[in-house]
């Protein structure tokens, strides 16, 4: 039974780019099960791809191979890499798109520039991780184009991985990969936690960088633009209007019942979400 290969790209679905990758994979491994994560990443938005991937990969079978091709530097000196974690493989350009997998605890708050992170730093993957610089052309399509490594390098490498080719055959082990600082909430002068909108989903839910365990104790008051939401809701139909809720990936979300919070509030990715403890709780 062949492993699952997932695809996350900014290719859209109107061209044949994604299909060409699938054709290449199925030519090498006809038994591969290919699953699209999304192809609607904004062009070149490495951070968005990294975030979406981070919410999905852990739901796939152990040993799945996740191919990520958001690759503005294709054809340049940026490396193509494989990252093996204890549960999965990731095949991607070394441009920060795997940052959520390399996240180290204890770092201070920071927000990468958007859409292409300019504050990349090299980081060592965690224990049990192994990274390889893809250099062996035996596993590539030939000739390799300079503009479409998704089809010519990443897809065939993933397909060969799915056939059980050992990691070491694809290239030399490397110690460090590029990562951007994972977006985390700040604190303002009064000590309130200030998060930021990280992603806006199909429903217009505003997904912030505030995680469940960042929440202060006591009754919560969320300030977003000129609106204030009191208390956490448990589910989307619990109350009318705006609500704050812990979403399915563990992040604080601002939602609007049967509507788009993003459209209603006019808030974009990067917008601030401030948490105040309610007076009852803080006085």
In whole angstroms, the minimum distance from the beta carbon of 174 to its own copies comes to: 21
Of 47, 50, 52, 98, the residue at the interface with its own copies (CB under 8 A) is: 52
- The number of residues that bind its own copies (CB under 8 A) is 67
Q: Judged by CB under 8 A, which of 87, 113, 168, 234 binds its own copies? A: 234
Residues 152-211 that bind its own copies (CB under 8 A): 152, 199, 201-204
**Position among 216, 236, 272, 274 found at the interface with its own copies (CB under 8 A):** 236
Query: What is the DSSP annotation of the chain?
Result: -PPEEEEEES--SSSSHHHHHHHHHHHH-TT-EEEEEES-SPTT-HHHHHHHHHHHGGGSPTTEEEEEE--TTTTSSPPEEEEE-SSEEEEEESSSTTGGGS--TTPPP----SSS-S--EEE---TT-EEEE---GGGS-SSPPSS-HIIIIIHHHHHHHHTT--GGGSS-EES-EEE-PPP--EE-TTS-EEEEEEEE-TT--EEEEEEGGGSPSSSEEEEETTEEEESEESSTTSSSSEEEEE-TTSEEEEEETTB-HHHHHT--TT-EEEEEE-HHHH-
- From candidates 5, 67, 73, 208, binder to its own copies by CB under 8 A: 73
Rounded to a whole number of angstroms, the minimum distance from the CB of residue 278 to its own copies is 22
Closest CA to 279 of 236, 222, 221, 231: 221
- Identity of the residue, 116 or 272, whose beta carbon is nearer to its own copies in the bound complex: 116
Minimum distance from residue 206 beta carbon to its own copies (Å): 13
Cβ closest to its own copies, residue 27 vs residue 122: 27
Choose the binding region for its own copies from 8-16, 173-181, 187-195, 267-275 (rule: CB under 8 A). Answer: 8-16
Determine if 31 is a binding residue for its own copies (CB under 8 A). yes
- Least Å distance between CB 2 and its own copies? 9
Taking CB under 8 A as the rule, does residue 43 contact its own copies?
yes
Sign of CA dihedral 57, 117, 244, 268: negative
129 binds its own copies, rule: CB under 8 A: no
231 in contact with its own copies (CB under 8 A): no
Under the binding rule (CB under 8 A), the answer on residue 96 touching its own copies is no
Q: Which residue from 66, 39, 36, 72 is spatially nearest to 54, judged by alpha carbons?
A: 66
List contacts with its own copies (CB under 8 A). 1, 4, 6, 10-17, 19-20, 22-24, 26-27, 30-31, 33-40, 43-44, 52-53, 55-57, 59-61, 64, 72-76, 116, 145-148, 151-152, 199, 201-204, 234-238, 245-248, 258, 260
């Amino acid at each position: 039974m062949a492993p699952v290969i997932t695809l996350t790209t900014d290719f859209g679905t109107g061209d044949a780019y994604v299909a060409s990758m699938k054709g290449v994979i199925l030519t090498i491994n006809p038994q591969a099960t290919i699953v699209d994560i999304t192809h609607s990443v904004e062009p070149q938005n490495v951070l968005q791809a990294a975030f979406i991937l981070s919410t999905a990969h852990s739901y796939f079978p152990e040993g799945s191979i996740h191919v990520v091709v958001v690759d503005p530097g294709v054809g340049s000196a940026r490396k193509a890499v494989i990252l093996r974690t204890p549960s999965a493989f990731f095949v991607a350009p070394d441009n920060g798109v795997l940052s959520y997998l390399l996240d180290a605890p204890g770092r201070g708050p920071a927000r990468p520039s958007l859409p292409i992170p300019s504050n990349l730093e090299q980081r060592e993957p965690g224990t049990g991780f192994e990274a390889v610089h893809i250099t062996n052309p035996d596993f590539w399509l030939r000739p390799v184009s300079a503009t479409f490594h998704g089809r010519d390098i990443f897809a065939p490498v993933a397909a060969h991985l799915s056939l059980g080719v050992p990691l070491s055959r694809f290239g030399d082990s490397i110690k460090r990969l590029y990562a951007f600082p994972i977006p985390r909430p700040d604190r303002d002068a009064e000590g309130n936690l200030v998060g930021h909108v990280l992603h806006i989903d199909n429903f217009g839910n505003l997904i912030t960088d505030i995680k469940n365990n960042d929440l202060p104790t006591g009754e919560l008051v969320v300030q977003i633009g000129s609106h204030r939401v009191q208390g956490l809701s448990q589910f989307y139909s619990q109350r009318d209007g705006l609500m704050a809720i812990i979403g399915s990936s563990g992040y604080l979300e601002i939602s609007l019942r049967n509507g788009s919070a993003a459209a209603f509030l006019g808030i974009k990715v990067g917008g601030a979400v401030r948490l105040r403890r309610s007076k009852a709780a803080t006085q």
